[in-house]
């Protein structure tokens, strides 16, 4: 601290809050770019005060009002939330009034930040895997572990996705409670498999089996030297690459999220394997820039036979009529089977005046009464009873093997949802490794560059 103007942190903070308010205002005037972040990355976190006795508004039925915030495409519109969640919730808790606000993804996070800085955050809010760890680390979200232990029976839930969100590491506490999650799965084009006379992929497949089939499914029908049909897709995103690295026995970060492990031999070999699919074997197209589905053939275009992808893709594939498709188990690696899992969750603000009422509302999302309307196509309910009910299993026409998403639960692993996830994983690591996939730089150099960037980002985190 130095200088006359800024001697008091409080003054500085006030200035900054005013500034942020201005920035928010101004950004509202500009053309807000459409968000492309998949809705799959939602995590909620709530906190129980372990020992402190909080005023229990819910016990004596005093009327309280709590605020719930969520983003568009998460659990529904304001009207839908009123109808499917708040109405049945109020039947059980008539004394708790829930105010709802739903914003587009980009605006949502700016608003949450502004409200936290101003000391008036929503009591319950939709949390993303991209921010859950940071919110726990900065004391924004409440530790919900003891409330969870006290009120909920673990055997009622599919528990693996919970571990994805713990703080400070996989053995830590819950600061966000999953309400549903998305999986990786092997998507395959049945029509192309039938044409080639190949057997469909099954639960015993390894990544090598997938590659062998991909070679048979890659075709250059017009003879111009470039395939017009590819066997599979190859991407450096967390759903595909991180799953392969881990299934082969490697790591992306170390267990306490402080160090990049991509330069370890297993990780380098896995990155090489994905790179070879594009550059050496040419069974996968070069990747398209983010947001550009037209720049490269995709699974949805019907010109890529297989894809390791997130189950959130199921929603957009519902509209496909040109070919038949299904999903099956994420293939096994050389060491084990790993399934990527990304939970959508809820957090309770540490500054909430009504944490108990907030917790009641969070619990309602997990209850049998919540139903499937707020789950969304391609996400699996965290509540076992709902996930195994016909209401959910038969809620979509395709894929036929929707159930595999539930069956994969025992193998679910997160994509190192630690500090500054969007910065180190979605940005730095992706950009550095894409250069290997483009062939502009070797895999070893790209892995080293990725680790340099990631380690610097992780080192900047105040723990």
Partner 1 sequence: VKNEVPNVPAPLPGLRQQSTAVAVPAHQRRHRHVAGWLEALPYLLPLLIGLMVFTIGPIFAALILSFTDWDLLTPPEWIGLGNYRDLFTRPVFWTILGNTLYYTVLYVPAAVVLPLLVAVMLNRPLRGIILYRGVYFLPVITSTVAIALVWMLLYQPEFGVLNYILKQFGVSGPNWLADERWAMPALVIMSVWKGLGFNMVIYLAGLQGISEQYYEAAMIEGANGWHRLRFITVPLISPTTFFVLIISIISSLQVFEQTYILTRGGPGYATLTMSYYIYQNAFQFQHMGFSAAVAYVLFVMIMLVTLVQFLLQRRWVFYQ
Q: Which residues bind to partner 1, rule: CB under 8 A?
A: 1-3, 5-6, 9-10, 12-13, 15-16, 18-20, 22-23, 26-27, 31, 33, 106, 109-110, 113-114, 116-117, 134-135, 138-140, 286-292, 294-296, 420, 422-423, 427-428, 431-432, 434-435, 438, 440, 452-453, 456
> Of the two residues 140 and 274, which places its CB atom closer to partner 1 in the complex?
140
Distances in Å between the Cα of 206 and the Cα atoms of 260, 373, 376 are: 26, 35, 30
What is the nearest approach in angstroms of partner 1 to the Cβ of residue 407?
35
> Of the two residues 85 and 428, which places its CB atom closer to partner 1 in the complex?
428
What is the nearest approach in angstroms of partner 1 to the Cβ of residue 353?
19
Let me know if 86 is exposed, middle or buried by CB neighbors in 10 A (0-12, 13-18, 19+). buried
What is the nearest approach in angstroms of partner 1 to the Cβ of residue 110?
7
> Of the two residues 164 and 449, which places its CB atom closer to partner 1 in the complex?
449
> Of the two residues 54 and 118, which places its CB atom closer to partner 1 in the complex?
118
What is the nearest approach in angstroms of partner 1 to the Cβ of residue 141?
11
Please state whether the peptide bond connecting residue 399 to the residue before it is cis, i.e. omega within 30 degrees of 0.
yes
**Closest alpha carbon to 384 in 373, 393, 395:** 393
**Closest alpha carbon to 240 in 315, 340, 336:** 340
What is the rounded distance in angstroms from the CA atom of residue 143 to the CA atom of residue 115? 19
> Of the two residues 55 and 439, which places its CB atom closer to partner 1 in the complex?
439
What is the nearest approach in angstroms of partner 1 to the Cβ of residue 225?
9
> Of the two residues 143 and 328, which places its CB atom closer to partner 1 in the complex?
143
Q: Are strands 304-310 and 339-348 parallel, antiparallel or unpaired?
A: unpaired
What is the rounded distance in angstroms from the CA atom of residue 432 to the CA atom of residue 403? 36
What is the nearest approach in angstroms of partner 1 to the Cβ of residue 378?
23
Segment (H or E) for 149:
helix 145-151
Residue whose pair of structure tokens reads 């709590």 in the numeric block: 66
| 455 contacts 262 by C-beta, under 8 angstroms | no
DSSP label at residue 330: P
Dihedral sign (CA 49, 52, 53, 57): negative
What is the nearest approach in angstroms of partner 1 to the Cβ of residue 137?
10
> Of the two residues 269 and 427, which places its CB atom closer to partner 1 in the complex?
427
Segment (H or E) for 136:
helix 132-137
> Of the two residues 265 and 291, which places its CB atom closer to partner 1 in the complex?
291
Distances in Å between the Cα of 189 and the Cα atoms of 196, 201, 300, 344, 352 are: 11, 10, 9, 28, 48
Residues 426-462 as b/e (b if ≥16 CB within 10 A, e otherwise) read bebbbebbbbbbeeebebeebbbbbbebbeebbeebe
What is the nearest approach in angstroms of partner 1 to the Cβ of residue 119?
11
Q: Which two tokens stand for residue 349?
A: 């603000």
Q: Which two tokens stand for residue 457?
A: 């980002």
What is the nearest approach in angstroms of partner 1 to the Cβ of residue 462?
8
> Of the two residues 92 and 440, which places its CB atom closer to partner 1 in the complex?
440
What is the nearest approach in angstroms of partner 1 to the Cβ of residue 420?
7
> Of the two residues 52 and 292, which places its CB atom closer to partner 1 in the complex?
292
What is the rounded distance in angstroms from the CA atom of residue 439 to the CA atom of residue 91? 60
Residue whose pair of structure tokens reads 């101004």 in the numeric block: 26
| 216 contacts 198 by C-beta, under 8 angstroms | yes
What is the nearest approach in angstroms of partner 1 to the Cβ of residue 126?
16
The region that residue 428 occupies, defined by phi over 0 for left and psi between -120 and 50 for alpha, beta otherwise, is alpha
> Of the two residues 34 and 59, which places its CB atom closer to partner 1 in the complex?
34
């Amino acid at each position: 601290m130095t200088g006359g103007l800024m001697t008091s942190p409080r003054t500085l903070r006030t200035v900054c809050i005013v500034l942020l308010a201005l920035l928010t205002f101004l950004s509202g005037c500009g053309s807000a770019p459409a968000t492309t972040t998949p809705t799959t990355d939602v995590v909620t976190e709530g906190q129980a005060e372990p020992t402190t006795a909080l005023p229990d508004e819910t016990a004596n039925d005093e009327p309280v009002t709590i605020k719930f915030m969520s983003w568009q495409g998460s659990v529904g519109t304001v009207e839908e939330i009123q109808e499917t969640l708040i109405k049945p919730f109020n039947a059980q808790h008539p004394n708790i009034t829930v105010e709802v606000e739903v914003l587009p993804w980009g605006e949502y996070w700016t608003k949450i930040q502004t409200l936290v800085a101003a000391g008036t955050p929503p009591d319950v809010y939709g949390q993303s895997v991209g921010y859950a760890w940071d919110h726990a680390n900065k004391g924004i979200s409440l530790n919900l572990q003891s409330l969870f232990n006290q009120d909920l029976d673990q055997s009622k839930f599919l528990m693996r996705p919970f571990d994805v969100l713990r703080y400070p590491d996989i053995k830590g506490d819950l600061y966000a409670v999953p309400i549903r999650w998305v999986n990786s799965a092997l998507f395959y084009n049945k029509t192309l498999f039938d044409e080639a006379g190949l057997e469909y992929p099954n639960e015993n497949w390894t990544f090598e089996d997938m590659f062998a089939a991909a070679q048979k499914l890659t075709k250059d029908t017009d003879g111009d030297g470039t395939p017009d049909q590819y066997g599979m897709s190859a991407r450096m995103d967390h759903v595909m690459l991180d799953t392969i690295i881990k299934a082969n026995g490697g790591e992306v970060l170390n267990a306490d999220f402080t160090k990049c492990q991509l330069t370890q031999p297993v990780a380098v070999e896995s990155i090489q394997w994905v790179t070879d699919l594009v550059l050496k074997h040419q069974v996968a197209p070069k990747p398209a820039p983010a947001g550009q589905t037209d720049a490269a053939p995709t699974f949805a275009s019907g010109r890529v036979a297989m894809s390791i992808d997130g189950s959130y893709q199921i929603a957009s594939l519902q509209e496909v009529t040109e070919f038949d498709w299904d999903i099956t188990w994420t293939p096994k690696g050389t060491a084990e089977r790993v399934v990527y899992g990304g939970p959508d969750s809820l957090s309770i603000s540490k500054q909430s005046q009504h944490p108990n009422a907030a917790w009641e509302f969070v619990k309602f999302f997990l209850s049998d009464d919540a139903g499937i309307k707020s789950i969304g196509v391609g996400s699996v309910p965290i509540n076992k009873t709902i996930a195994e009910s016909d209401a959910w299993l038969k809620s979509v026409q395709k894929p036929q093997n929707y159930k595999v998403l539930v069956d994969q639960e025992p193998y679910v692993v997160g994509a190192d949802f630690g500090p500054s996830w969007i910065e180190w994983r979605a940005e730095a690591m992706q950009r550095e490794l894409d250069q290997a996939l483009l062939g502009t730089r070797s895999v070893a150099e790209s892995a080293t560059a990725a680790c340099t960037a990631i380690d610097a980002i992780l080192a900047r985190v105040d723990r």
